[in-house]
A and B are shown apart, each in its own frame.
Chain A
């Protein structure tokens, strides 16, 4: 095997900025590069992205390979794969890391087949083994185990890394590095795919479940989409939001944006109330980091009770209205007990 040196990070630019997942990855890649006694190179394809090279250096890169072309303004699969493959053959890096954004996964998945090397998806930790291999650690099967993936006989060793698992590295404005402009020769077919439209997400609902401190989540046990109204009422009394397990989404009861779990979202609220959710591992994977978990289910054997801090075995149609009643009563008391202010608040 030819000599392979250096750690690379694919830097994804979007709307004139580096994506968080790329910046987070620079911090982690710096650590890996230091362990290997190697340089850290950021690969930055795009258009009008040179200022971002400076930022990547200040966050930890030693060198940026900058590929600017107006046709690279928006991510599409083939030209970006061409950039990565061309540079890979020119420089022989030892490691290439991608942020596991939709585009990062799209690119990594295509590139690994094109250059015949391995790719570990969605890693949450990295290490370097005694032999010097990259230890790529990713959740396996619903997050109940962690698999250590190695790529020993192919180079580069490639992995994508999840969003928000690594902290943003501090930015040191005095750090210096080198920006190297690279030219990549494209083929007409690389630009066969065109982006003809974009509609931004109405983030309202989605953001609610990402940000809410309290989530009231419903499962198949709710029996009917209209029963989610009960959860809405409970959530609004608690200042929280409604979420869902997979089944209600599959059945079209609630939008996919509300789904918590392996194929939905990972959430970390301070309180997660699971109502009528049995607790398949795929669901647990998305909510087990909640600070407190409450399970309400009529099946005492439901797996959800195994990871709950508090549980009530019983009929949710009795228990949720009762909780709503008690919360309203408590609020009523609290309000009548509140001392009157001498002067009205301005």
Chain B
């Protein structure tokens, strides 16, 4: 292989966010509002696909995977999990002043952290998060850094220091090619993220693999971040009432219940 990347190895940053576990979120049957209390967290699922993509690239090209997040110190848990899955080390940008950041200061903060890490070849992000679902942070980082971006990627190859990504759009799969450094946002579900390994867990247990930075460490002024640095605000939130449904439960024994159900559906003219 003539690929120089194979000799030098790649420095890959995977940006990840800790989000409430989507499957655990339920609607309160009485109030019809979201039950959030006590909902466990996870690494944003598309970010897990991004991490898996990074691990596959490192297997091929060697190098280093750095996981990066921004949020409260409880996010350490997800960075540590990512290290247990195979990432080399992590950084958490954590600062009260960052609270309320929309996608502009978030992308700016992550970009500053990536600059501070230095020598980064590839930045991988999930296509979007399951909580805010904007998909803006990856392109925002690329915009701030003025480097190429390939969004909605289901697979990536590095050939001669160029990134070749398969981009899933509405009517097909485009193959884009861009020089490094490059931001790639990863299509949700495009691979199967691996589980943490025992060796990984032991590494985490020894500690010292996640480093914290404050906004000031990145040279960010309070006016650039948090609510102050965010162009958008959430002016209000309306709760959407679930459509009211008949909610008829057939409690008879299976044969009769099925027969009553099919009869009701025929009466409603939804089945032939």
Contact = CB atoms under 8 A, between A and B. Distances in A.
A309 B172 CA distance: 36
B232 A118 contact: yes
Given A145-B237, A153-B231, A326 B245 contact: no
B152 A148 contact: no
Interface residues of A, number: 99
Interface string A298-322: 0000010111111111110011001
A312 B258 contact: yes
Given A116-B104, A195-B176, A105 B151 contact: yes
A28 B100 CA distance: 30
B138 A148 contact: no
Contacts of B24: 280
Contacts of A252: 192
A309 B246 contact: yes
A118 B271 CA distance: 47
Interface stretch (B127-135, B201-209, B212-220): B127-135
A294 B245 CA distance: 10
B250 A310 contact: yes
A24 interface: no
Contact of A111 (B27, B143, B188, B235): B143
B199 interface: no
Interface in A35-66: none
Interface string B145-176: 01011111000000000001001111111111
A150 B265 contact: no
Interface residues of B, number: 87
A238 B144 contact: no
A201 B140 contact: no
Interface in A255-313: 256, 259, 262-263, 270-271, 278-282, 284, 288-289, 291-294, 303, 305-313
B90 interface: no
A312 B168 CA distance: 38
B26 interface: yes
Main secondary structure of the interface of A (DSSP, over half): mixed
Nearest to A105: B135
Interface in A197-227: 197-201, 203, 214
B130 A77 contact: no
Interface string A71-111: 00000111001000000000000000000011101111111
A148 B238 contact: yes
23 contacts: A77-B151, A112-B140, A119-B103, A119-B136, A135-B235, A147-B236, A154-B231, A193-B149, A195-B175, A195-B176, A196-B164, A201-B172, A249-B189, A256-B189, A259-B189, A270-B270, A278-B23, A279-B27, A288-B243, A303-B26, A307-B245, A309-B246, A326-B262
Interface of A: 14, 76-78, 81, 101-103, 105-114, 116-122, 135, 139-154, 189, 192-201, 203, 214, 238-239, 246-247, 249-250, 252, 256, 259, 262-263, 270-271, 278-282, 284, 288-289, 291-294, 303, 305-315, 318-319, 322-323, 326-327, 330
